[in-house]
Amino acid sequence: MTADTGPDRTPDGRYVVVGGRRWRATDPQIPEDVAARLRSHLMAARRAVAAARRAEDPEAERAARTRVHLSKVALGERGTPWWEQSDGERRSRWREGLAALD
């Protein structure tokens, strides 16, 4: 991994490789400003999971994990693989995810 290119990718670009593990890559069709907003929601949700765990608050943890999941689906990292969706389905996925998270 380099600062300029990010993590290594599989030749088809569908996955990133971190620490020898393959993870689904973010949908490259998402405009960068939208992807940045979704990543911001994802990181805030991950911080909320950690805070809820420290507070031993299962309800808050469940809510935070739901936000993590929504963020990852909107980014194309979970759910139906982005390469199996039409352009319209891909746009709808991230637009609906962002609307739910904003």
Q: Per-residue confidence of the chain (102 residues) as pLDDT tens digits?
A: 445 568 899 999 999 999 999 999 999 999 999 999 999 999 999 999 999 999 999 999 999 999 999 999 999 999 999 999 999 999 999 999 999 999
pLDDT for position 2: 46
Cross-strand partners of 16: 9, 23
Decide if 17 is inside a domain.
no
pLDDT for position 6: 80
pLDDT for position 4: 55
DSSP state of 17: E
Decide if 25 is inside a domain.
no
What is the distance between the alpha carbons of residues 39 and 44, in angstroms, rounded to a whole number? 9
- Of 62, 26, 22, 28, the residue nearest 45 (C-alpha): 62
Q: What is the pTM of this model?
A: 0.90
DSSP state of 55: T
Total structural domains within the chain: 1
The domain containing residue 35 runs over which residues?
30-101
